[in-house]
Chains A and B, each alone.
Chain A
Amino acid sequence: MNAETLYLQLKKFQESKGYHFNEDKDMVMALLESLLINKDRYGYMACPCRLASGNYEMDKDMLCPCVYREPDIAEFGACFCGLYVSQDWNEGKIPHETVPERRPPELVMAALGIS
């Protein structure tokens, strides 16, 4: 699969659920390329803006779309990566703030086996 095919597939499905790709298509395509890199590397599309461990069970919360997307879009209008945003965000009706990391560091450590 290439990034353009992934774009078309995800766009249709995610928009039906009320999630939109960032209007910056270059950024979106770069992120989709990164998702495909992660799929090759790990066997699943781990969030490209976070360090995946390679352990699927431990990385489940950060498979794209990650479990943090919904609260991040509710609070900031964009997910941590900025791949998915709300319509209001795309239309400039809400400020484009940096979205802070919501994934607990304890999960990062546990997934990597760091004590």
Chain B
Amino acid sequence: MAPSIKVYALSTCIHCKKAKEFLTGQDLEYDCVYVDRLSGDERNDTMREVRKLNPKMSFPIILIGDAVIVGFQKDDILTALGAV
């Protein structure tokens, strides 16, 4: 079964773009939340979730199964995929 993958990203962020391209290149499907396209309470509630996942509040954040990967880290993504 394909792993459930969620990405918190900014639509303008280059590391986010590279990470998404990498996932797509691996034929993986993922849900992506572009936090910079949210506003008001929706944005701030999402940033509270982001803070719990990554105290530095940087992007991208990639959730693969139980793994939380901060930044575009190919090896960590592949390791997490192997573990799910």
Cβ < 8 Å to B, chain A residues 13-72: 27, 30-31, 34, 37-38, 48-52
User: What's the Cα separation between A109 and B50 when bound, in Å?
Assistant: 11
Which size bracket describes the interface of B in this complex? Answer: 20 to 34
Given contacts A30-B17, A112-B43, A114-B44, contact A38 B56 (CB under 8 A): no
In the complex, the answer to whether B13 meets A48 with C-beta atoms within 8 Å is yes
Pick from B12, B15, B44, B71: contact of A112, CB below 8 A: B44
CB-nearest residue of chain A to B55: A105
A49/B59 in contact, CB under 8 A? yes
Cβ of A85 within 8 Å of any chain B Cβ, yes or no, is no
**Structural contact, B56 and A114, CB atoms closer than 8 A:** no
A-side interface size class: 20 to 34
Closest to A100 in B: B56
Whether the pair A81, B36 counts as a contact (CB closer than 8 A) is: no
Within 8 A of A (CB), among B23-70: 35-36, 43-44, 47-48, 51, 55-59
Tell whether A77 is near chain B: CB-to-CB under 8 Å. no
Whether B73 and A51, one on each chain, are in contact in the complex, defined by CB atoms closer than 8 angstroms, is no
Q: Which residues of B contact A52 (CB under 8 A)?
A: 36
Task: Please give the distance in Å from A29's CB to the nearest CB on chain B.
Answer: 10
Look across to chain A and name the residue whose beta carbon is closest to the beta carbon of B60. Answer: A49
Chain B: which residue is nearest A36 at the CB level? B12
Query: In the complex the two chains form, is A105's CB within 8 Å of B51's CB?
Result: yes
B14 lies within 8 A of chain A by Cβ: yes
Contacts of B57 in A (CB 8 A): 51, 101, 105, 108-109
Q: Determine the distance from Cα of A62 to Cα of B73 in the docked complex, in whole angstroms.
A: 23
Residues of A within 8 A of B51 (CB): 105, 109, 114
A27 CB to closest chain B CB (Å) equals: 6
Q: Which residues of B contact A (CB under 8 A)?
A: 10-17, 35-36, 43-44, 47-48, 51, 55-59, 71-73
